Every structure is written in C-alpha cells, then in structure tokens.
Amino acid sequence: MRSIYIWTTRFILAIALVGILPVPNNSTIVLAQSKKAKASQAAKYAKRGNSKAKKKDYKGALSDYKKAYKLRPSANYKKKVQQLTSLAKKQSGKKSSKKQPSSKNAAQATAYAKRGNSKAKKKDYAGALKDYQKAYKLNPSSSNKKKVQQLQSILKRRSTQVASRNATKAKVPRLSDIPTISPVKYANDIYNIAEAFELSSRNLARATHYLDDTEKKKVRRIETRRALSTKDLENAARTEPNDIRKQVDLARHYEGNGQFEDAKEIYLKLAAQNPFNADVHFHLGSFYSRFGQMTKARHSFDEAMDVQPNHRATIEAMATLFGTKEKRNLSDDILAKSAERDPTGPAQRMQTIRKNLDDQNFEYAAKLAKGGQDLFPRQSGFIFLKGSAFEGMGDIPKAKASYQESIKKDPTHRESYVALGNLYSGQGKHVYAALTYGDAIRLDPSDANSRFKQGLSYFKASEWGRATSSWEDLLHYDPHNQEVLTLLPQAYYILAVEYNRVGQSGLGQTAFRKALSVNRNSGQWLPGSMRTLGGFYRDKGMFRESLAAFQEAIELKPSDADNYLGLGITYWKMNEAGLAKAAWARSMDLDPTSNDARGWLLLAGKISG
C-alpha cells in the first residue's frame, strides 16, 4: 500500500513539473534558421541583379530583384524593383521601335541603296527613290530615311519646273496671226543691245586676262589685331624664358621705346645661354651694327658663321649691307669667310653679284642673281640683288617687282622695304615712299635714315602733320640732326599759316610755338618755309598766295636763286611770260650753273642752246 502511495505521488509530481518547467521549442529554432537562409539567398539574387543591370539587362535584373524581394520584402528591394520595372519598360519600348533587321535584310537593303546611288548619279531620281524606299522597308535606318526625303524633294522640284515649262511652252502661231514689225522702229534698241553685249564681252575678256595668271590671287580676311604692350611682351618672355623668338620680340620692343640698354641686356643674355645657336649671335651683331659699333658687330657675325657657315640670316644681311666703307668691308669679310668654308654655298655667288654691281655689270649681275635664286630658293637676298641689278639697268618695273617679291618671300627683310621706298621716291610717289619707309622703321625702330626719308616724303607730298610726326620721332634717336632742325620748323610754320588761313588761329599759334621750340633761329628755316609754301599754293592753283609767298622768301633771302626760279614758274602758270623770263634770268645771274632755270628759259624761247 505504501509503495502504491509513493508511485502515485511521484506520478502527480511529474505531471505538475511538466506543466511548470519550460520545454525546448524546436519549431522556433527552425524558423530562425530559415529566415537567415532566405536573407542570404536574397542577397545573392540582388548581387546577380546588380551585375545584370550594369550590363543593361534590365529584364533579368528585375527578375532577380523580384526573387530577392519575395525572399526578403525590404524597402530597398522594393525600390529597386520599381526602378528596374521602369527601365525594363523603356528598353522594351526602344527594342520594339528599333527592331534590328536580319543580316539578310540588311545586305539586301545595302544592295538596293547602292543601286539607288548609281541611278541618282545618272539623274534617274525616280528609279533611285524606288530603290531607296525598298531599302528603307528592309532596313529602316536614319540614312535611308534621309535619302528617301532628299530624293522626294528633288523630284518635287523637278516636277514643278517641268510643269512651269509646260505651262509657258510657246505655241507656233498661224502666219495670219503674226503682226508686221518694222525693223527701223526697233533699230535703236537693237543697236543698244549689241553695244551692251560688246561692252560685256570686253569686260569679260579683261577679267579672264587676270585669271590666266599662274599665281591666282586669293581674298583673305583682314583682321585687326591689338598691338602687344610692353607688359604683354614681358609676361610672355618671363613665362617662356627658353623661347628665343619671344625674347627677341621683347628686345626689339625695347629698342622701339628707346630702352637700348634693356634690349642689349637681352641679346647678351641670349648669346651667353645659347652659344651654339647662330641666330642669337646674329641678333647681337645686328644690334651693334645698328648703332655703328662695327668691331663688336664683326665679332658677333663671325661667331654666327663659326656655328653655322651658311647661316641664312647672316648671309642675307651681309649681302644687302651697303653704305659706309666700314660696313662694306664688314660684309665683304663675312661673305668671304662663309665662301671659304663652303665654296658651293650662297655666299660665294653673292660676293660675285656684289662685285658685278660695283663694276656696273648689271645684266650679268641680274643673270647671276636669277641663277642663285633657283639654286638657293630660301635665300631672299638673291631676289633683292636681282632688283638692284634691274634698277641699275634702268628697268624700274622689274626692279619694283623684284623688291616686292623679296618682301613677299621674307616680310622681315628691311633692306627690301628701303630699296622699294627709294624707288617710289625717285618716281615722285612720295606718299607710297613714306608708307614703305614706315615698314622698314617697324622692323628697325632705330633706323634714323629711314625715319628722315619718311618725314621728307610726307613733306614733299604736302602731308605736313605726318611729316612733323615722323621727324619728332627721329629727334628722340638723333636730337642733333641738322636737316631735321631745319625742315621740321618749316613744316610747323606751314601748318601755322594754313591754320590761320582757315580761321583756326589757336592751332596756328600752337604750331608756330612748336617751330620756335625746335629751332629758335628762324633765319635758318623761314625763307625755306615761304618758298615751300609758294610751290604748295601754286600746285593748288592759288597763284596770288603763291606770288606773295615767293616775294616774302625773296625779301628774307634775296641771294637764293631757287626763290626766283619758283617765282618764274608761278608767273608762267599765270601766262605772264615776260615776268617769268625776267625771274628766271635773275635766277641764272645768281646761279649760272642752274640747269632748271636754263631749261625753263629754253622752253620759253628766250635763248637757244
């Protein structure tokens, strides 16, 4: 009985304990493990979807992200599914609109397009259009579509032209309908039409004459460029210290501004830094020669020839260096040195040409120069020497053409500009001479001779203001130039007289004060001013003013034969032959060697021989 009680108690306690103590839940563990596996699988699908999206396979990426979202419905996956759905729709739309043709259709379309092209070249536009329409059906590309549109446009234009021609096509009238026309009535119209046709033919012949030239002229766009300032050039030279061209440009700019020491510093620095560059030695030698330091110039030119015996710039400079005996000796020595080192080079021939020019064998010199130009086409010095030979022969047109050819070939060849300016001056084309001297000054601002000639050319052309400007610039380089100190006040005085004559007395007083500021000794320049004014007024037909100016000049300087010569010419222009002869006779009394006065007297019939 006791044992039954014990077992019963144990059984009840066991049942109670089972209800109170926690029992392990296997389903919860399984669920957690399942969630973890799904998240890992979703991440794999998302990764694969990303790689497909990068390859623009949006449909495949969408499928993978949908699987990932199903396994793990997060907000990130949902957003990706929405984005990919939109992209997949767009891609499917594009594919449906741009369906790629098969390779067979594409080949057939190409064949139709090729045949259409050949028909279009033969102007069979209708056949070409049919072929391109077939090609577009097989391969609806943009190029085929464009061709179809072009051909349709051409056919439309042609049809309108044909329609207009058909509409205006003349019908042959019956003989009874033709009115009788009198040829006399329309004779004047026929004559005018024939004359106009003849004139048109002559104009066409004249135009085609210029087109027959081997070297055709091209119209070029002319652009005005801002002149570089000192600051611009200094910045360019500072930023690129190894660019020799920019350093030289700055040095030349300094020369133009009168900063000669700064310019020399640049040339010396270049020669020190680039001892094996012939150009830098040439620039230094040119600088020294411009200021008459011929010994230093010789050393620099020697160095250039040692580095490069056929240095083009040095040889050309020496070939065109004339003037003083010292300059001539320098050029002869440098050319001889180059010829000795390279007997077949250009220096030997240039020496021979210069010798023939000195001996006035101009024809032979011209032949040698032409041959040198053919042998050494890069040397523009031969063209310049050819021009000098033609000028010596008296063939001015060929000399002018040669100088212009030299300038065209080498726009930096200063001597060609000077020679052309001298040629213009000899022809009396003073304005063109002044402009050409201006180009020479641009290349060498310290060229005092060209500056004086420019001012003199403007003075002879009665361009008084420009003459004063040129000579004022020259005085910065040569303050004691006696010719300028005589002529510049004359130009200012003439400006003063002209300003007063037109009622601008203020400007006249300013010009007169400038004349006195240049040269206070008016006795040196006032008679010349009045004589120049007399000639100026005569050329303008102002004979009364001309007579008054010459009489004033005679009062100021009665012993000057040129005053009486000019007075006589004015009287002659006024048909006062007796007074003119008397004035020329007085001029010959003062200067018996005056050929001008003698020539005018011969013209007037006063004396014979």
66/52 Cα distance (integer angstroms): 14
pLDDT at 34: 67
552 and 498 within one domain: yes
Q: How remote is the C-alpha of 547 from its chain's centroid?
A: 50
Query: Which residue type is seen at 463?
Result: E
Q: What is the dihedral of CA 373, 378, 380, 385, to 10 degrees?
A: -30
**Does the residue 309 lie in any domain?**
no
571 and 490 within one domain: yes
pLDDT at 453: 92
Sign of the alpha-carbon dihedral angle for 501, 507, 513, 517: negative
**Does the residue 231 lie in any domain?**
no
580 and 472 within one domain: yes
pLDDT at 228: 74
151 and 41 within one domain: no
152 and 43 within one domain: no
135 and 54 within one domain: no
pLDDT at 83: 84
pLDDT at 28: 52
Going by C-beta distance under 8 Å and a sequence separation of 6 or more, which residues neighbour residue 273?
A: 280
516 and 479 within one domain: yes
Last residue of a domain, one of 47, 69, 92: 92
587 and 540 within one domain: yes
Cβ atoms 315, 327 nearer than 8 A: no
pLDDT at 216: 46
pLDDT at 455: 92
Cβ atoms 151, 128 nearer than 8 A: yes
pLDDT at 196: 59
pLDDT at 185: 45
- For residue 599, the SS3 value is helix
Cβ atoms 383, 406 nearer than 8 A: yes
**Does the residue 227 lie in any domain?**
no
152 and 41 within one domain: no
Give the CATH number of the domain where residue 512 resides.
1.25.40.10
- Give how many domains the chain has, as a whole number: 3
Cβ neighbours of 356 (radius 10 Å): 21
119 and 72 within one domain: no
132 and 46 within one domain: no
Range of the domain at 584: 458-604
**Does the residue 469 lie in any domain?**
yes
Last residue of a domain, one of 92, 115, 138: 92
Query: Which residue type is seen at 331?
Result: S
580 and 515 within one domain: yes
**Does the residue 563 lie in any domain?**
yes
**Does the residue 485 lie in any domain?**
yes
- Degrees (nearest 5) of the Cα angle 476, 480, 484? 80
The per-residue pLDDT for range 267-325, each reduced to its tens digit, is: 888 887 887 788 888 888 888 777 767 777 777 777 777 777 767 777 667 666 555 66
Mean pLDDT, consecutive 10-residue segments, the chain of 609 residues?
63 55 48 69 85 83 85 83 82 59 81 86 84 86 84 79 51 47 47 56 55 47 60 84 84 81 84 80 80 75 74 68 62 66 73 84 87 81 87 90 88 87 90 90 85 92 89 87 90 89 87 88 88 89 90 90 91 89 90 86 66
pLDDT at 457: 92
**Does the residue 83 lie in any domain?**
yes
**Does the residue 165 lie in any domain?**
no
